[in-house]
Structure 1
Amino acid sequence: MSPDLPDPRNPYSMDEDCQNCPALVESRTQVVHGYGDPTADIAVLGTAPTASADRTGIPFTGDETGEVIQALLGDLGLSDSPPDSTEPALSEVYLTYVTRCHHPERGATDEERHNCEGYRTAELRRINPELIVAVGQGALDALAFEYTTRSADDLDVTVEHATTIQGRGFEILPMIEPADASESQLATFREHVADELDRDYRQTKGQRRK
């Protein structure tokens, strides 16, 4: 990441004291906004912060899921940090979630997802990535209506895992939640992302902009 870029933690200065969802205000440690390179061509979108991300304040850190994602990024040459880093040194990658607050006993409600939609939409529009890795069904569902020609009912992350879906202005790479994926499935996904980078992104890198 260039030293001229802003701090990777919440580089767009989104509201760190959001009060839109009273139950989540009570349950969270902090709001977990995006982290990484704000000029990234690759965004990694998860469903919601885990307990570990709630503690660190950085998406995909502090637990096994985070280590799988960080190891993947390292294998692809997109991270210079060990998989267990809580402040990864990323290049061309931005990490974020559909919703920004952790609840220890349940997933987000429809209203809570709606309340967070503006944050996600603003980030993706400002980053304007070429590739979005959608980690889990929740992330894939969030992208379906606005960013693809397919409905959420037509998208199953298990079926679409390690494939490419053409979005509006970018490509979506669905990924099964690491906790639910076998070593073979993770290896297949890694190979697919590497192929996409070699075929498309690295060939056109720097030709378009933001």
Structure 2
Amino acid sequence: MDAHQQDTANPFGMDEDCENCPALCETREQVVHGYGDVGADFVFVGERPGPGADQTGVPFTGDSDSEAFLSVLRRLGLCASPADSDEPELHNAFLTYLTRCRDPERPPTDEEIRTCEPYLNAEVRMINPEIIVPVGERALAEIATEYTTTPAEEFDIAEHHGEPIRGRGFELVPMVPPGDASDERTQTFVESFSELMASDYRQTKGRRSR
């Protein structure tokens, strides 16, 4: 699988007509694969497409929660487009989800997350980022299970928000979804992540902890 960096949307050419989860095929508008810079140091992983992404086909776009998220990326210098852009210009950032399809009535099942796991694993393997940012509690639980030796239940998104966590091969920085966060909590993340970006974070890769 090769990356096509001229294509920021689904740059790895993943199946856009995936039918591995029949129930979701009936409720989704489209499959939403990853989007952004395939050479990124930072990969942001949400739980599932929001209502906006289900329409646009681009992760973290198309609705008010997405605008709040992209506003944070703008403040960090990772996004050069307005927060309401449906095709944001990203620098050093890649956006993706645990699952690629949306049911408007419920979150994804454990089975659906397992079924989609090869897509996420392939993106992470191809990009080989320095930092993975789980956005939300479910993303934190799944990413922590995959990339740390600590039981996922020991992590709490509110407690570990913006706090670097060294894992197996990648450092994790959990993020409360900006659409659900107070201004103060959002500011905390921006300040913490800005400090990390200004540090020698590339030297931490491969260290094992937690």
Within 5 Å, which residues of 2 pair with 1:112-151? 112-151=112-151
Moved more, 126-135 or 27-36: 126-135
In 2, the alpha carbon distance for the partners of 1:174 and 1:88 equals 22
Within 5 Å, which residues of 2 pair with 1:12-91? 12-91=12-91
In 2, the alpha carbon distance for the partners of 1:150 and 1:65 equals 30
CA shift for structure 1 position 202: 7.8
Q: Unaligned regions of 5+ residues in structure 2, if any?
A: 205-210
Moved more, 80-89 or 62-71: 62-71
Contact 2:130–2:202 (CA under 8 A) maintained in structure 1: no
Name the structure 1 match of 2:93: 93
Please give the secondary structure, in 2, of the residue aligned with 1:133: strand
In 2, the alpha carbon distance for the partners of 1:195 and 1:6 equals 30
Please give the secondary structure, in 1, of the residue aligned with 2:45: strand
Within 5 Å, which residues of 2 pair with 1:187-198? 187-198=187-198
Please give the secondary structure, in 1, of the residue aligned with 2:38: coil
Instruction: Indicate the percent of aligned positions where both proteins have the same amino acid.
Output: 52
In 2, the alpha carbon distance for the partners of 1:200 and 1:116 equals 33
CA offsets per residue over residues 147-168 of structure 1, 9 Å max, x none?
0121111111111112111121
CA shift for structure 1 position 173: 0.7
Name the structure 2 match of 1:106: 106
In 1, the alpha carbon distance for the partners of 2:202 and 2:79 equals 16
Give the TM-score normalised by the residue count of structure 1: 0.92
Name the structure 2 match of 1:208: none
CA offsets per residue over residues 132-151 of structure 1, 9 Å max, x none?
11110111011112201211
Give the TM-score normalised by the residue count of structure 2: 0.92
In 2, the alpha carbon distance for the partners of 1:38 and 1:119 equals 14
Please give the secondary structure, in 2, of the residue aligned with 1:174: coil
Moved more, 142-151 or 102-111: 142-151
CA shift for structure 1 position 6: 2.5
Q: Unaligned regions of 5+ residues in structure 1, if any?
A: 205-210
Q: What is the aligned residue count?
A: 201
CA offsets per residue over residues 89-139 of structure 1, 9 Å max, x none?
111110000111010100011111110010011111111100111110111
Q: Does residue 9 in structure 1 map to residue 9 in structure 2?
A: yes
In 2, the alpha carbon distance for the partners of 1:49 and 1:75 equals 23
Please give the secondary structure, in 2, of the residue aligned with 1:95: strand
CA offsets per residue over residues 142-200 of structure 1, 9 Å max, x none?
11122012111111111111211112122111011223211100000000000000012
